[in-house]
Copies of this chain bind each other. A is one copy, B any other.
Amino acid sequence: MEYAKVKVANLPSVRRLPAYLHLLKQLEATGLDFVSGTQISQELKLEPIQVRKDLAITGIVGKPRIGFPVTALITAIETFLGWDNTTDAFLIGSGHLGSALLGYQGFKEHGLNIVAAFDNAEEKFGQTIHDTEVFPLEKLPDLAERMHVRIAIMTVPASEAQSIADFLVDAGIEGIWNFTPVSLRLPANIVVQHEDLACGLAVLSKKLQHTQQELDDTACNE
């Protein structure tokens, strides 16, 4: 069988769903029953039509004049993203960033549960970081099979990223959340989500250049 490149309908919409989810949970906490796309758009600084289109992919149906039922909308988004059931994951590389992710409580809210961490550094074996035990990387294949874990979060040094990724795939890992700056070369059936902080920093830097530019221009014109 040939694996087609995974096609996900409207990726930009999928990326915006967590922002809706966060807002909706806040609104739910205040006891609100219904919210209109217009209200949501104002809170998140989006176009009303974009909100309606985004929410439509989850299958939610709203009431004209009234808006969307808040609780049902939360459920619809969580179900759509598969965040209604908890998925177990491994974390590979217990350095600074890895430790921070182990301490981040927000993942559980998104259906992700880090059940074990792995490292190559002997002095870390058996350590517990934020209630998660660190194992030698070599034990991963066995544990992955026994615990039926399909997802790995990679926070390892760039120099080791490719070889460790290959090792993970051999061990049956199907999805990798890649926090290294390396573009991994893996079989087409492996799902890789590249999370590179430098991308966001590039955009921030560029936008700041432009505002600085504007200020300079203004100064010149005076």
CA gap between A218 and B18 in the complex, in Å: 31
Q: Mark A1-33, 1 if CB is under 8 A from B, else 0.
A: 101001110010011111101110000000000
Interface-facing stretch out of A68-76, A118-126, A138-146, A192-200: A192-200
Q: Mark A164-188, 1 if CB is under 8 A from B, else 0.
A: 0000000000110100011101000
Main secondary structure of the interface of A (DSSP, over half): helix
At the interface, yes or no: A43 with Cβ under 8 Å from chain B? yes
CA gap between A165 and B166 in the complex, in Å: 42
**Considering the complex, which residues of chain A in the window 103-122 have a beta carbon less than 8 Å from any beta carbon of chain B?**
103-104, 106-107, 110-112
Q: How many residues of A contact B (CB 8 A)?
A: 69
At the interface, yes or no: A133 with Cβ under 8 Å from chain B? no
Contact A208 B151 (CB under 8 A): yes
At the interface, yes or no: A137 with Cβ under 8 Å from chain B? no
Contact A218 B1 (CB under 8 A): yes
CA gap between A213 and B213 in the complex, in Å: 49
How many copies make up the complex? 2
Task: Note all chain B residues with C-beta closer than 8 A to A207.
Answer: 6, 8, 175, 191, 193
Chain A to chain B contacts (Cβ below 8 Å), 14 pairs: A1-B218, A6-B210, A8-B206, A15-B203, A16-B199, A83-B205, A95-B103, A96-B104, A97-B104, A99-B100, A106-B197, A107-B201, A193-B200, A195-B200
- Residues of A whose CB lies within 8 Å of any CB of B are 1, 3, 6-8, 11, 14-19, 21-23, 43-45, 80-83, 87, 95-97, 99-101, 103-104, 106-107, 110-112, 130, 150-151, 158, 174-175, 177, 181-183, 185, 189, 191, 193, 195-211, 214, 218
